Amino acid sequence: MTIQQKEISGTNPPTVVLKSVCRSCHGGCGVLMHVQDGVLVKVEGDPDSPLNHGRLCPIGTVTTDLVYHPDRLKYPMRRLGERGSGRWQRISWDAALGEISEKLLAIRDKFGPEAIALGTGTGRHHIRWVSRFGNALGTPNWCEPGFAQCFHPRVNTTILTFGDLPVCDYTGDVPPKCILFWGHNPLNSGPDGETRFNVREALAHDPDIIVIDPRETELAKRAKLWLRVRPGADDALALAMLNVIIGERLYDEPFVRAWTHGFEALAERVKPHTPEWAEPITWVAADKIRNAARLFAKAKPAMMEWGCALEHTPKCIQTIRAVSMLPVLTGNIDVPGGWVFGMHGLGRFPSLIENLTPEANAKRLGADRFKLLGGEGADLPAAHIPTLLQAMREGKPYWVKAFLVFGNNTLTTYANSSAAYEALMKLDFIVCADLFMTPTAELADIVLPAASWPEINQLAGLPTIAANVVLANQKAVRTHECKSDEEIFVELARRMKLPVGTESVEDVLNAQLKGGGLGVSFDELKQKGWVKVPFRYRKYENGGFRTPTGKIELYSTRFEQLGYAPLPYYEEAPETPISAPGVAEDYPLVLTTGGRIPFFFNSEHRQIEKLRKACRDPIAEIHPETAARLGIAGGDWMWIETRRGRMRQQAKLTAGIDPRVVSAQHGWWFPDQPGPEYGVWQSNVNLLTDNQPPYDPAMGTYQLRALLCRVAPAADPQKNAGGVA
């Protein structure tokens, strides 16, 4: 154990206090871990942390309940009987790693390394290590359910457009005068170092608030302007706001003239997209669109918070491009209190992608079609999940035979869960490393007990990509036989005698710190807890932007080079009242999904009673008029059905949603119900979502929101637990 310089005397045994960073979500709050005689007794917020100033969310406050939960996976296990039988045998780590190595090498020799795929969950501390191990093994096929659907569409798009990912300037000294929250509710989530706490600190300065969201969130109630957009119509709304800002000459003319490329082409593109044009598409009044554009353009400085709601339809990349141009035209780029570029206090992670031959890279599933996801336009190339599932299920374009899952409950987090289940059942070999047994882990051949975040050594550079604050996640305790995912990868690489990827975890962390130029080792950073990198604004004035033109590319030369549209445009999602009126006759309501629950992180933490008590059952929001018409009262269970399937959640009646819209929670399964299914087929919204084409042409994104659905009364699922809905 690394002992931080502070000890609390007067206790028996003495308490050691270690600085670290909470990773129960990917928010990144600084924490103090209190350890007595090798036991974690308390976790509290670090009052000195610039990201949370001593506060923790409900998830962070129950860390000891997570670490010492009696249902934690405690040792490696081998499945007995048929897949999904629920019968397991305890084995040693030596046996587990030996069997995994032997099986993977045999599959690689017979089918090629590309027949082995790896998967992980969003925002996990080990996410880069998953692709690193894949690259060391020689397979290009790794995936994460959010890569085409959450955050990385924004990462890859802004890197091509701006040369870097802009983030909100929450840790600077100048508060924003206006904050535009677009498809994001950070008071319930606060990901990637833009925590819910520094958002609240910014709100304490009383900025003008604009919220664009189909739901009346807490932020919408506080907003000066709330635009209740139709789910999936964000691109039309953004183009209309650009129309107003350009047409009324509200843009920052000196900045636009000096530092953007293609303004005239953009102005011509948005000219027909007036607020009156957008009103019937977006369900937002033209006057309200104008007022929002004017308010954002005139406030200085202004920042924009955007969320993954923008990335849940198959036209997400050009939607992101259109939305991202609002801070650009208003001159809120890399200025105090605006959208800023990071100081990159961490060196680039050694992904080992250079170990892949050109032939191996060319075999990445989906890379030939979706260049921003898996090809030359990707910051971190990944496989296309629907194409990967097809390879598992049908052997097209080739067979995938093995799947290694690290920290992901695939059956709840992949779209079209029934199709995902079918694909997993076709595999020859599945390994799953997790904190708890899940419906996905029950399908594995080998299950490995993963370490929780107080049991690992890692680095966090936050906000993600920007790395303006670098924090040490240090190992405080060890429970049972749990190992960190990172250690598992290193041990497998050594056992399989791979040519790369065998360095110790600490060696990799020290290399990252050296690359960031902070002048500290990992051991030294553990003592400090975190380092805040000195910040500089208007960095583009010294050398321009990292794009081919040296400017922010409103007209993207890189998109054009890759064969994609260089200017943003409007396009309906494939299944909406406008694009599919025939479907809407049978499925008349619009379904939106993915709203964050402040007590869980996606599908995680439902085992923890203190959190579950705050949100016992899945909830779907529906307008009182719609519910009354369908014979549904508040608290009733109701079926929600799309063309893919149906599931049931409890009705919450609210006037804060359009009568034509239903909002369902995601990530639901029931660890308290019997395995091996744990109720995964009851209330899982991904039974309804669509992973079929058409896809976003650049990113391969499929439709998770704006789907057409219908609703009907349902019985209490507890009376029929465990069956497929």
pLDDT band (50, 70, 90) for residue 11: low
Per the model's pLDDT, the better-predicted residue between 1 and 575 turns out to be 575
Out of 1.10.580.10, 3.40.50.1820, 2.40.40.20, 3.10.180.10, select the CATH number for domain 581-720: 2.40.40.20
Residue 244 pLDDT: 99
For residue 193, what pLDDT is reported? 82
pLDDT at 3 over 80: no
Strand pairing category for 637-641 and 646-653: antiparallel
**Distance (Å) of CA 3 to CA 34, 452, 506, 531, 590:** 11, 19, 17, 18, 54
Please check whether residue 220 is in contact with residue 656, taking contact to mean a CB–CB distance below 8 angstroms.
Answer: yes
The per-residue pLDDT for 10 is 55
Please provide the average confidence, as pLDDT, over all residues in the chain.
Answer: 95
CB 576 within 8 Å of CB 232: yes
- The DSSP code sequence of 288-312 is HHHHHHHHHHHSSSEEEEE-GGGGS
Same fold, 77-150+345-471+478-519 and 581-720: no
What CATH code is assigned to 166-340?
3.40.228.10
Neighbouring residues of 563: CB distance < 8 A, sequence distance ≥ 6: 371
* pLDDT average, residue stretch 246-274: 98
| pLDDT score of 194 | 81
Residue 47 has pLDDT above 50, yes or no: yes
Residue 2: band (very low, low, confident or very high) from pLDDT cuts 50, 70, 90: very low
Cα angle value 311/695/135 (rounded, 5°): 80
pLDDT at 5: 40
What local confidence, expressed as pLDDT, does residue 12 receive?
Answer: 73
What pLDDT does 720 receive? Answer: 56
122: closest CA among 311, 300, 292?
A: 311
Q: Could you tell me what percent of the chain has a pLDDT over 90?
A: 93
> What fold characterizes domain 77-150+345-471+478-519?
Rossmann fold (3.40.50)
Average pLDDT on 614-637 reads 98
- pLDDT at position 596 is 87
**% of residues, the chain, pLDDT over 70:** 97
The 8-class DSSP code of residue 353 comes to G
What CA–CA distance (Å, rounded) separates 549 from 275? 31
pLDDT tens per residue, range 685-719: 999 999 999 999 999 999 999 999 999 999 987 66
Write the pLDDT tens digit of every residue in 660-671.
999 999 999 999
At 321, the pLDDT band (50, 70, 90 cuts) reads very high
Mean pLDDT over 450-457 rounds to: 98
Residue spans per domain, the chain: 77-150+345-471+478-519, 166-340, 581-720
Q: Token match 């809120």: residue?
A: 332
pLDDT tens readout for residues 75-96: 999 999 999 999 999 999 999 9
Least Cα distance to 57 among 106, 23, 104, 95 occurs for 23
Contact 568, 59 (CB under 8 A): no
Query: What letters, b where the CB count within 10 A reaches 16 and e where it falls short, cover 342-375?
Result: bbbbbbebbbbeebbeeebbebbbbbeebbbbbb
pTM for the full predicted model: 0.96
Q: Per-residue pLDDT for 650 more than 80?
A: yes
